[in-house]
């Protein structure tokens, strides 16, 4: 059991290194063989994290991220999908491409609202606050806190 856990954790821990890629491929093949959707998604996550840590690598990062997002959507894993959205937003923020990040979040928020996905809406409001905080716009950041908390409370009450 411990070896399997280490088998899963090792590529995630060293995602920024090239050595993580063959490990992620092995993990994905093993996960597919046993029908483990989560394992398969974690292996794809290592792929896009490897591209994330490279500077000025948006095209490759976006391709691997899109493959991950398509897979998690096909499996109905909304939380993994919005994790990917947040990683793309972090990438935009890291590269100081704030306007692209805002536009992307606006597009994703419309999608989450049309699906009535409270978790996604909450996550996207939080990520808008992250961009505003990174830009030093704390006066605008405070505007996103109340709706985020209200959505979170509604989401938690519906979850129980």
CB 129 within 8 A of CB 137: no
pLDDT of residue 23: 76
- Kindly give, in sequence order, each residue whose CB lies less than 8 Å from that of residue 36, ignoring residues fewer than 6 positions away: 30
> Taking the C-alpha atoms of 51, 52, 58 and 62 in order, what is their torsion angle to the nearest 10 degrees?
80
Give the mean pLDDT per block of 10 residues along the chain (160 residues). 48 61 80 86 86 88 94 93 94 91 93 90 86 75 65 64
CB 20 within 8 A of CB 50: yes
- Kindly give, in sequence order, each residue whose CB lies less than 8 Å from that of residue 151, ignoring residues fewer than 6 positions away: 118, 121, 122, 125
pLDDT of residue 17: 66
CB 104 within 8 A of CB 92: yes
pLDDT of residue 3: 41
What is the model's pTM?
0.76
- Kindly give, in sequence order, each residue whose CB lies less than 8 Å from that of residue 63, ignoring residues fewer than 6 positions away: 51
CB 27 within 8 A of CB 41: no
- Kindly give, in sequence order, each residue whose CB lies less than 8 Å from that of residue 82, ignoring residues fewer than 6 positions away: 108, 112, 117, 119, 120, 123, 124
pLDDT of residue 2: 37
CB 24 within 8 A of CB 51: no
């Amino acid at each position: 059991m411990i070896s399997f856990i280490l088998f899963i954790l090792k590529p995630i821990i060293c995602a920024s290194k090239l050595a993580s890629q063959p490990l992620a491929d092995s993990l994905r093949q093993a996960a597919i063989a046993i029908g483990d959707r989560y394992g398969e998604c974690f292996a794809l996550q290592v792929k896009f994290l490897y591209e994330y840590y490279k500077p000025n690598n948006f095209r490759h990062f976006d391709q691997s991220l899109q493959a991950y997002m398509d897979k998690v959507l096909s499996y109905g894993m909304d939380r993994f999908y919005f994790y990917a959205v947040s990683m793309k937003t972090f990438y935009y923020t890291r590269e100081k491409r704030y306007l692209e990040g805002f536009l992307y979040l606006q597009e994703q928020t419309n999608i989450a609202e049309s699906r009535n996905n409270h978790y996604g809406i909450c996550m996207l409001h939080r990520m808008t606050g992250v961009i505003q905080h990174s830009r030093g716009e704390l006066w605008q950041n405070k505007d996103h806190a109340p709706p985020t908390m209200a959505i979170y409370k509604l989401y938690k009450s519906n979850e129980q």
